[in-house]
Amino acid sequence: MQLERILQKHGFGTRKACRSLIRHELVAVNGQISDNPFAEIDTNGLIFTVDGVDWPYAEFASLMLHKPPGYECSRKPLHHPSVLSLLPVQLRERDVQPIGRLDEDTTGLLLITDDGQLNHVLSSAKRKVPKVYLATTKHPIDQSQIDQLLSGVLLNDEPEPIAAAACEMVGEHWLRLTLTGGKYHQVKRMVAAAGNRVEALHRETIGELELPDDLKPGEWRWLSAVDMKKLGYSA
């Protein structure tokens, strides 16, 4: 693939703008400066550098983000900044979008991609991808609440009770729930139906992919092949 097309694909602007970056010797390929926009580059395992920043060639931009509070999972937010504003402009130019949504005040693991197939697979209700949440509750948790969440609670506008796939008390006011659905405000509504209230909510895991301990709020990283396997996804 021509070098200028690689840059354009990765969100560095129009082909004219990408050509200018290359002509001004701001682009290196595998550590070597290249000033030829039309050079044919092998993209297999490619690492290219733009203005001192390394970028891996990625056919699709798929990443994980540690979502902090105060951000909306929308490309057109209404009341708070978009979670996409935490990403480099080059990724935003690729039209990435969150896979599913977390509420503005919910924190934790969020997946973002421009891969439509990955988004569809992980969002599909038929796949029942498990997601683990840690909820902080207003009132102390008791066994009755655990039993209700495991057996199923009836939510407004839902024809049948909805149950957690797993639920355990990890502290007097801490509850860890595993859900396989993605209904609107599901954790908060289920806990409320069981007689308590969620004061804070954090997503720890999607599939078998856990939020890394060293990924701080607001930070992101690329999804690796190992991460994809933990999500149960293969292209």
**C-alpha–C-alpha distance, residues 25 and 28, integer Å:** 8
Active site residues: 103
CA angle, 25 as apex, 22 and 29 as ends, to 5°? 70
pLDDT beyond 90 at 110: yes
For residues 168 and 182, membership in a common domain is answered with yes
pLDDT tens readout for residues 35-94: 999 999 999 989 999 999 999 999 999 999 999 999 999 878 788 999 999 999 999 999
Q: What is the pTM of this model?
A: 0.90
Domains: count for the chain: 3
**C-alpha–C-alpha distance, residues 104 and 22, integer Å:** 40
Query: Which residues constitute the domain of residue 70?
Result: 62-125+211-230
pLDDT beyond 70 at 235: no
pLDDT tens readout for residues 111-164: 999 999 999 888 877 788 899 999 999 999 999 999 999 999 988 887 889 999
The pLDDT value recorded for residue 136 is: 97
User: The domain that contains 226 carries what CATH number?
Assistant: 3.30.70.580
What value does the mean pLDDT take over residues 193-212?
96
Q: What is the mean pLDDT of the chain?
A: 93
For residues 140 and 101, membership in a common domain is answered with no
CA distances to 121, 204, 229, 230 from 233, in Å: 8, 19, 6, 8
The pLDDT value recorded for residue 121 is: 87
In a domain, 235, yes or no: no
Q: Residue 185: left if φ>0, alpha if ψ -120 to 50, beta else—which one?
A: left
Amino acid at 106: T
The pLDDT value recorded for residue 195 is: 94
The pLDDT value recorded for residue 188 is: 94
What value does the mean pLDDT take over residues 199-223?
96
**C-alpha–C-alpha distance, residues 151 and 4, integer Å:** 57
In a domain, 172, yes or no: yes
For residues 202 and 146, membership in a common domain is answered with yes
For residues 137 and 40, membership in a common domain is answered with no
Amino acid at 64: M
User: The domain that contains 175 carries what CATH number?
Assistant: 3.30.70.1560
